[in-house]
Amino acid sequence: METLKVTSYAANKAVGSAASSAVSSATSSAANAAASAGQFKTTGLIATPQGFVHGQITAVNGLIIALEGEPVASQSVRDLNLPIIVPGFIDCHVHGAGGADMMDGGDACLTIANKHAQHGTTTLLATTLTAPPESLLHAFKGLREVLAQAPTVLGVHLEGPFINPKKLGAQPAFARAFDMQELRELNKIVPIKLITLAPDLTDAPSIVRALCELGYLVQLGHGDASYEQSVQLLEAGAKGFTHLYNAMSPLHHRAPGMVGAALAHAQYAEVIPDLIHVHPGAIRAAMRAIECLYCVTDATSASAMPDGQYQLGTHRVEKCLGAVRLSDGTLAGSCLTMDQAFRNCVDGLQLDLLQASLRTSTYAAQFLGLADRGRLALGAKADWVVFNRDLNIQQVIQAGSPWTN
């Protein structure tokens, strides 16, 4: 069996195409430097872009500098009863966790980031709710105060207020017309990485083109748009769909709606794999149609908490039997964490471990344009999750160090 062996990233950069003796010398020097800089290693079954290997991964200064091992068939990984190492999870849609709501800002954001990190999320977007301008300002300013203490928070996903009031889902009733000035002011406080926009807003194609020219990522969601309207916005530059199937015009064979546009044309879309928001068969259908369908939690303050009542923006919600709902029974975000999403992909949707890793990390990184994470390879950010064979987390590594709360 061929051995996958990659020398130090630092050494490869230093020597280029030099002779093997020079490579050996440079690698030795890099290893010595690594030891003094604070090296971290994990041994086990490692999910690399080329497949699983049984070997060791090494990090220094937050980056992967070495990875070597013997290839292992993906279907055999759980039978070997060894640590399973996958890229750290990336969650583009997080409203809360641990009893804290992102709209509260400040320490609530730290609580949320820490709780999700315990469950393997090493990169997330702090996701806001539809709210009055002053409430959004409060949330953004509170997040700015603690951002330096929350290394897993990449920026903001602005979900609302620029959505269709007829497709709120569990969003509070503060939807309004698009306002570029409000968006600019919020972005000055904390970078907005992703915007959910309803495709049936007035002048939506022009809005999407303007946002894309300014460098924003746009997803379509919370809308009652036609298939044709949705396709027009994809052509204008929108890149994906927010929680596919939920809070959008459904698929009908004579009126395909937003869901039909996603299945026919999208490369990227979110899906909530709690197996409650979307039937497993509908998720499998979407995976066949949308190459880079990726998982999000849409987590609320009820995530990683016992059953009971919690806050979602201005709403009071109830967690019961694995779901979070408004008083009228409407699903209101989820209580999902990304490690459970991973398990649901494997044990519920019957994906192999590599496919589950792509859909909980790699595809989200690609969507966000993050070449430095979502994969375990030389030079990538040293974010990984260590599972046992039952897919229970044993350790989370963030930027080359074990995560501690």
Residue 192: CA count within 13 A, CB half-sphere? 30
Instruction: Check whether the bond before 161 is cis (ω within 30° of 0).
Output: yes
3-state secondary structure of 180: helix
Any idea of the CA torsion for 72, 77, 81, 86, to the nearest 10 degrees? Answer: 100
- β-pairing, 51-60 vs 39-48, is antiparallel
Active site residues: 298
Contact partners, residue 188, CB within 8 Å, separation at least 6: none
Answer whether 68's CB lies under 8 Å from 94's CB. no
Answer whether 268's CB lies under 8 Å from 240's CB. yes
Closest CA to 375 of 122, 32, 40, 83: 122
Longest Cα–Cα distance of the chain, Å, equals 71
Instruction: In whole angstroms, give the CA distance from residue 44 to residue 362.
Output: 20
User: Residue 181 corresponds to which tokens in the numbers above?
Assistant: 């000035």
